[in-house]
Amino acid sequence: MKSLDEIISNRRSVRSYKSDPVEKEKILQILEAARLAPSACNAQPWKFIVAHTPEIKNAVFKEGLNNLVIPNKWAGEAPVIIAVCSQKKFLVHTVAEKIQDVDYHLIDLGIACEHLVLKAEELGLGTCFIGWFKGKEIQKVLSLPSSMKIECLIVLGYPKDESENGDRAPRKTLEEISEFK
């Protein structure tokens, strides 16, 4: 089993996937990791909609990711697209966000999504966050209520040959990103 350090250092955005389906058991393990994430006031403001049947996944891609300024054609290869949704109906996400001018629900979703992608890496799956998409169109395809907002998408699948996915993008040094006082 990989150590957490290995999982973190190996994780990268994958943009080339095999057509192999992802086992439901693995998807459930990934969702369980996200479910266990902490959140402000334990509000758990998330919902993860898993588009994994070819009909729904292809409709999400066609309506929400195809023909954008930023080409996301590679996302159509992935066998799974997860819509990460927020449900902003909790006290902490209305009153507290206004007082502090902090989008706590987005911090909460970021933590849950990181749990999700790290678990996927541990299971040998690749992921990539997508922030540019047609949310209203995807919301219609998935029949989501207006109380939910799709904040991002995560594509999921088995990576193709490592050489097709490239090296991990360089990271700044610790000295560049941290400071002790």
The model carries a pTM of 0.91
Give 54-100 pLDDT, tens digit per residue.
999 999 999 999 877 677 889 999 999 999 999 866 565 677 777 87
Residue 109 is given by DSSP the state: H
- H or E stretch covering 128: strand 126-130
Give 122-175 pLDDT, tens digit per residue.
999 999 999 999 999 999 999 999 989 999 999 999 999 765 555 678 889 999
Q: How far apart are CA 25 and CA 162, in angstroms?
A: 24
